[in-house]
Amino acid sequence: MEKKRPDNVAWDEETQSWVPGILPYGSNVGAPAIRPTDTGSWKASGVARANKQIHAKFLELAREYEKLVEEFGWSELVYGAKFNFEPIVGNSYHLYKNKAGEIFLSMISPNEWDMPWLGEFKLTSDHQWIKLNGDDHH
């Protein structure tokens, strides 16, 4: 029958014997108490920081999305307009609404005639129309 060893000893490979005092924790009544670390506040502050970062990124993406939707709307409006010429990449053109309510694209600037002007648009190299200035409501 194997002899029962005391709880406050550990096997030491060097001496090949049970040795007191090399345990990774206190083993007598006078040893410091072992208490679990309270990670609640650390977790709460980590969650708060992570949520703040995620919220900031969400707002940034929401602004980018809104800008993209607006750019899409302007490109769709210009491509849907009537024009009898091939626009050149890099040039700017003017969008108007005639008396019949039709939207058309022109090279004529708004100070050269009296026509309801919707804005100035530039054709980019990726064939998108960007709004330079003009009425923001179409």
Read off the pLDDT of residues 97-124 as tens digits, 9 standing for 90 and up. Answer: 999 999 999 999 999 988 899 999 999 9
Is 116 contained in some domain? yes
Q: Name the stretches of the chain with pLDDT < 70.
A: 1-8, 20-28, 134-138
Around 29, how many Cα atoms within 13 Å sit in the side-chain half-sphere?
Answer: 0
What pLDDT is attached to residue 13?
79
What pLDDT is attached to residue 113?
87
Is 97 contained in some domain? yes
Which structural domain, as residue segments, surrounds residue 109? 73-138
What pLDDT is attached to residue 17?
76
What pLDDT is attached to residue 68?
93
